């Protein structure tokens, strides 16, 4: 990610990206000084724990769906999967 060059977290970002935990944005940036969203946090934690969003789990949780999370959201399955953990 070109926007992490010289950033204090550059080494950690590179390491986590090499392990597939961080992927950055579609435009190729990482945006290291931008706060993480709820969706990004959940996806990051799921990847660190070796979990992935399972569409079946998401479907099972629809009755508890978040009002601000449309089913078409890029992290919908990840968030709903994490919400199903007990």
CA atoms within 13 A on the CB side of 82: 20
- Whole-model pTM over 0.75: no
State the DSSP string of the chain.
-GGGTT-TTHHHHHHHHHTTS----TTS---TTSPPPHHHHHHHHHHHTT----HHHHHHTGGG--TT--TTSTTHHHHHHHHT--
Q: Pick from 58, 59, 50: which is nearest to 80 by CA?
A: 58
- Block means of pLDDT (10 residues each) for the chain, length 86 residues? 96 96 94 94 90 62 71 86 74
Number of residues that make up the chain: 86
Tokens representing 67 are: 């009002």
């Amino acid at each position: 990610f070109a926007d992490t060059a010289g950033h204090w977290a550059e080494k950690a970002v590179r390491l986590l990206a090499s392990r597939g935990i961080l992927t950055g944005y579609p435009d190729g940036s990482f945006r290291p000084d931008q706060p993480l969203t709820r969706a990004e946090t959940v996806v990051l934690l799921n990847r660190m724990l070796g979990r992935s969003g399972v569409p079946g789990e998401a479907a099972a949780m629809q009755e508890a769906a978040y009002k601000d999370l449309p089913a078409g959201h890029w992290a919908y399955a990840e968030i709903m999967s994490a919400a199903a953990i007990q």
